[in-house]
Chains A and B, each alone.
Chain A
Amino acid sequence: EAGVAQSPRYKIIEKRQSVAFWCNPISGHATLYWYQQILGQGPKLLIQFQNNGVVDDSQLPKDRFSAERLKGVDSTLKIQPAKLEDSAVYLCASSLALDRRNTEAFFGQGTRLTVV
């Protein structure tokens, strides 16, 4: 079974530039998550999709971050314009999320973003 694919693995940009991350979840997983992990902190949920609908984006800084999930499969996360404090690892994960026993999240390797 193919895992969650993310690209790019690393990205260095200057502040005020824009950047986009891509995620391809495990086939058949209806739920897709984007997490932001800043050094020294736990992963923070930015946005959660169920198929192509948004379930939770309460912690997404909507003035600069946007995300979409095309046809309920691939997803992109965009930052425009980037700030220094956006430097973090951006993790994409997917899950069946059918019931209590199927809530395991499968993660991609993440994108390490450095804003200079």
Chain B
Amino acid sequence: ILNVEQSPQSLHVQEGDSTNFTCSFPSSNFYALHWYRWETAKSPEALFVMTLNGDEKKKGRISATLNTKEGYSYLYIKGSQPEDSATYLCAFITVDSGYALNFGKGTSLLVTP
């Protein structure tokens, strides 16, 4: 069982604020790092699949970076909107995990108008 840490646990921001979350994972045997968004009453959906050290990915106002050597990834949301309210999950795959995703506890984001 791999220890994936996410911080903060929860976050409450105003519409228009920018925010970022952190995911820490073991740096050995790295294979891939995923970010998922899970809105209430919906399915978790993948935001990013990251595989290379130094990867930077962007989708609209959301972006993510990856540092496999030190074992962390950042997720950034620029100009948060109420529809960004969700739980953001980080999941880590090791070389020998058979593609199993090891999830952190998530960061719960609430954006109020």
Contacts and interface: CB of A to CB of B under 8 A. Distances in A.
Contacts of A95: 99
Contact of B101 (A3, A100, A101, A105): A105
Interface residues of A, number: 30
Interface of A: 3-4, 31, 33, 35, 40-45, 48, 50, 55-56, 59, 91, 93, 95, 97, 100-101, 103-110
B103 A44 contact: yes
Contacts of B75: none
A115 B46 CA distance: 30
A38 B15 CA distance: 29
B9 to A, nearest CB: 9
B68 to A, nearest CB: 12
Contacts of A104: 34, 46, 49
Interface string B32-52: 101010000111111001010
Interface string B2-46: 001010000000000000000000000001101010000111111
A29 to B, nearest CB: 11
